[in-house]
Amino acid sequence: MRSYHHDLTPAFLYDPNGTSKNFAHQVFSLIRAVDHSFDLIPLELHRMEDGETEVRIDHSITGKNCFYVAGLSDNPERWLVDLLLVNETLNNCGAEKITDVSPYLRFSRADRKWRSGVSIASSMVAKCLMMYGDEVITFDIHNEASQVAYDEKGKRFTLLYSSPVLIPYLVRNHREFLDDVVVMSPDDGGLKRARAYAFRIGAQTDQAIETAASAKQRNSRGELIGLNLLGMVRDRNVLIIDDIYSSGKTISEAAKQAKDNGARLVYAHTPHFIGTSGDKYITKDIDLLIVGDSLIDEIKDTLATNPKKEMISYAELVAEAILRRSLKRGVSDLLENHREEWLIHTPRPDFDIIEV
């Protein structure tokens, strides 16, 4: 096992009793397989009798480059307060650099003022996280433009994408599906994302991939009154790409529209599966839903009971990003999927989780 040269000793922090512990275990195991330099440091989010939280760290982090894998609380406000308290504690304990690793970035959908008198929560969250933190690592946020809120001197927002994981998975496991596929956005606002996926699928399969979108018609009160399909899907396979699966209604409506317009198979992918309505909207029109493990503890129980769901892991992608950032290297080329150039290039290890 080798160790890379780091200007600062890297430290990997997580809550062993938190909701992201399984994901954190996977990420750290992958890093530890290729670089022994990282310290594994658990922390505790202790809930006081009055409901307040106290962060406790029993190991020295003075002068270290700290990467904290944030928990994924069901309560978004709890997630934010916990993360801010961790950042403040790391700062007070002498951490040289603080990076928040949050695969699913809460409040990222609240990125614009859609009417007078509403908050722009994504901007507020950015200002709060950058108060004590130095960098955020996340992926597939709702609107890429919202990352400019993190554009402060000495601060960094590292945005990853699920395509380097999803596309090789489809090539390995669903190759025939890709032979005549159209990449579809469930709304016209996501057409840019669909085109990006289409381009990269085409590069992997050596074909030109078309796109489609479901355009929503609304009345003067903003109520949905109809859907228009932009693009041709008849006698084609359709891959619906969306950044988040909340209730599932949006993807379900897009799948029905594709099937009503003659699509053969309809697959859907979302990196962030919340599933507030359970499997209610995984209807007959959806032949397969491929979800990411950014909210792994929330979805692992339902995966075993629904044959229409498959899960892909982003642990290797996040581990690669953490290792690169600890070495002050960029991550932009991860989109190109040149896996032979990754620092973490081994299959997911089966060795035991390393405990402190």
pLDDT in tens, 161-200: 999 999 999 999 999 999 999 999 998 888 889 999 999 9
Q: In terms of pLDDT, which residue wins out, 157 or 216?
A: 157
Does residue 156 share a domain with residue 251? no
Whether 203 has a pLDDT exceeding 80, the answer reads: yes
Instruction: Check whether residue 156 and residue 17 sit in a common domain.
Output: yes
If asked whether residues 178 and 277 sit together in one domain, one would say yes
What average pLDDT does the segment 127-149 reach?
Answer: 83
Instruction: Return d(Cα 184, Cα 197) in angstroms, integer.
Output: 10
User: 73 φ, ψ to 5°?
Assistant: -60, 145
Which has more pLDDT, 355 or 175?
Answer: 175
Is pLDDT above 90 for 125? no
Tell me what the pLDDT averaged over the chain comes to.
85
The H-or-E segment that residue 217 falls in is strand 210-218
Mean pLDDT of 331-355: 63
Here the tokens at position 342 are: 């990754």
Banded pLDDT at 350 (limits 50, 70, 90):
very low
- In degrees rounded to 5, what are phi and psi of residue 224? -70, 125
pLDDT of residue 267: 97
In 3-state terms, what secondary structure has residue 74? coil
Q: Is residue 241 part of a domain?
A: yes
Regarding whether 318 and 282 lie in a shared domain, the answer is no
Average pLDDT over residues 308-325: 92
Q: Does some domain include residue 177?
A: yes
Give the N- to C-terminal CA distance of the chain in Å, as an integer: 19
Q: What is the pLDDT of residues 71-113, one digit of tens each?
A: 876 688 998 999 999 999 999 999 999 999 998 888 777 666 6
Amino acid at 17: N
Cα(199)–Cα(136) distance, rounded to whole angstroms? 27
Total domain count, the chain: 2
d(CA 225, CA 227): 7
- The band of 308, judged by pLDDT with boundaries at 50, 70 and 90, is confident
Please report, as a single letter, which amino acid is at residue 64: K
80-116 as b/e: b if 16+ CB within 10 A: bbbbbbbbebbbebebbbbbbbbbbbbbbbbbeeeee
Residues 175 and 132 in one domain: no
Residue 296's pLDDT is: 60
pLDDT band at 349 (very low <50, low <70, confident <90, very high): very low
User: Would you say residue 179 lies in a domain?
Assistant: yes
pLDDT at 297 (0 to 100):
55
Q: Which of 114, 326, 138 is nearest to 222 (CA)?
A: 114
| Residue 155 tokens, joined | 């601060």
Nearest CA-CA partner of 279 in 261, 254, 297, 306:
306
Asked whether residue 59 is domain-assigned, the answer is yes
* pLDDT at res. 325: 95
Decide if pLDDT at 38 tops 80: yes
In a domain, 184, yes or no: yes
Model pLDDT for residues 112-121, shown as the tens digit of each residue: 666 777 777 7
Q: Is residue 238 exposed (0-12), middle (13-18) or buried (19+ Cβ within 10 Å)?
A: buried
**215 and 72 belong to one structural domain:** no
Q: Please tell me the distance from the alpha carbon of residue 154 to that of residue 198, in angstroms, as a whole number.
A: 34
Instruction: Please check whether residues 291 and 335 belong to one and the same domain.
Output: no
Q: What is the mean pLDDT of residues 344-350?
A: 54
Report which listed range, 23-27, 187-191, 215-219, 233-237, is most confident.
Answer: 233-237
Dist. CA 305–CA 278, nearest whole Å: 12
Q: What is the CATH number of the domain that holds 306?
A: 3.40.50.2020
In a domain, 93, yes or no: yes
Q: 251 and 220, same structural domain?
A: yes
pLDDT at 356: 33
What is the C-alpha separation between 57 and 46, in angstroms, rounded? Answer: 11
51 and 148 together in one domain: yes
* Domain residue limits at 319: 10-161+314-341
User: Do 126 and 25 have their domain in common?
Assistant: yes
Helices and strands: H and E segment counts in the chain:
8, 17
- Identity of the amino acid at 220: S
Scanning the structure block, which residue is given the tokens 């307040």?
Answer: 52
Q: What is the pTM for the complete model shown?
A: 0.87
Residue 346 located in a structural domain: no
Alpha-carbon distance 39 to 68, whole Å?
A: 12
